[in-house]
Amino acid sequence: MFVLAHLSDPHLGPIPEARVSELLGKRFFGMMNWIGARRRNFGASTLGPLLTDLMAQAPDHICVTGDLVNLSLPEEFDTGATFLTSLGEPDRVSVVPGNHDAYVRSAMHYHLEHWAPFLSGDDTHPHTPVDVDAFPYVRRRGPVAVVGVSTAIPTAIFLASGEAGRGQLARLRTLLLQLKEEGLFRAVMIHHPPVGTRPFHRDLRDAAAVRAVLAEAGAELVMHGHDHRTEFGVIPTPAGGVVPVVGVPSASAGPDDDRGAGAYALYRISGEPGAWRCEMERRGYAAGDATVRAREVQLLAPFGSAA
């Protein structure tokens, strides 16, 4: 049994004191957004107990699907690195960036520099700088291959969209087919959801192309964040199967958050190629209930079986 934990969108606070020059433009509106909405029902007081519960489950690996920071200010990436380090050794913790981790063009390289140990593939030399072309990365852990896809692109003001890009998608297709040959359980991390519909300004621009690659090459699990909601979808495959797609709320959201109470997912993986078993358990808060506990169990593989 291999246990994978999945959390997302901690939006770690508080926001550091920003120089005025750094707050011009998109960051200024992000700051207003934070002050206006995010301070309510959001923060370390709710994230702490959730992480305590997660650690008590002793997962073999932890996946963090982006939006660790808020405005992509330099100091926030140190906070992000401290957060990742608190979860475990880099070989047991994997991260992909979200739109807030690449909030403005000038900050595109911060997550690559500060979080390199947590987003480097197994084949990355420790002293080689990680760049955007290193995505998707892969980490083989027991029966599981953790695949990290980046959809983080700098966008204009008011935009929170993402894009995987043609080059990365071509590499993803090749990688997923290779990992299938190796008989591994392919667990894909991506910040923006590749399924469902959302407003243009929050969308994954090439979602259709991402879905096409996942359908053709296959994956046993896709994990995402971004919407801050409990979500579940499927991508049908040509062979008649499905790729399960799971979204989790923000790990920092309180019980009464508008978009969904703070939660994370655990995946208990066993079986073998062609006969995988994957049980998902969602744990966290619920509206009006400030205790962290199991909320839902769902069998993702074999898909459609009773849990």
For Fe ion, the binding residues (CB under 5 A) are 9, 67, 98-99, 226
* Cβ-based neighbour number of residue 37 at 10 Å: 11
CB 25 within 8 A of CB 79: no
**Least distance CB 55 / Fe ion (angstroms):** 22
Measured from the CB atom, is 118 or 276 closer to Fe ion?
118
In terms of Cα–Cα distance, which of 91, 92, 137 is closest to 112? Answer: 137
Measured from the CB atom, is 165 or 218 closer to Fe ion?
165
Q: Which residue has the tokens 């994978």?
A: 4
Measured from the CB atom, is 130 or 153 closer to Fe ion?
153
- Which residues in 8-66 belong to E strands, given as ranges? 61-64
Percentages helix, strand, coil for the chain, rounded to the nearest 5? 30, 25, 40
**Least distance CB 238 / Fe ion (angstroms):** 30
Q: In whole angstroms, what is the distance from residue 106 CA to residue 110 CA?
A: 9
CB-based contacts of 228-232 (< 8 A; 24+ apart in sequence)? 228/9, 228/253, 228/257, 228/259, 228/260, 229/259, 229/260, 230/260, 230/263, 230/282, 231/193, 231/196, 232/298
Position closest to Fe ion via CB: 67
**Least distance CB 17 / Fe ion (angstroms):** 22
Q: Which residue has the tokens 């008989």?
A: 183
Measured from the CB atom, is 51 or 175 closer to Fe ion?
51
Measured from the CB atom, is 149 or 300 closer to Fe ion?
149
Give Rg (Cα) of the chain.
18
Measured from the CB atom, is 108 or 300 closer to Fe ion?
108
**Least distance CB 220 / Fe ion (angstroms):** 24
**Least distance CB 228 / Fe ion (angstroms):** 6
In terms of Cα–Cα distance, which of 266, 263, 216 is closest to 236? Answer: 216
Measured from the CB atom, is 98 or 218 closer to Fe ion?
98
**Least distance CB 100 / Fe ion (angstroms):** 6
**Least distance CB 145 / Fe ion (angstroms):** 24
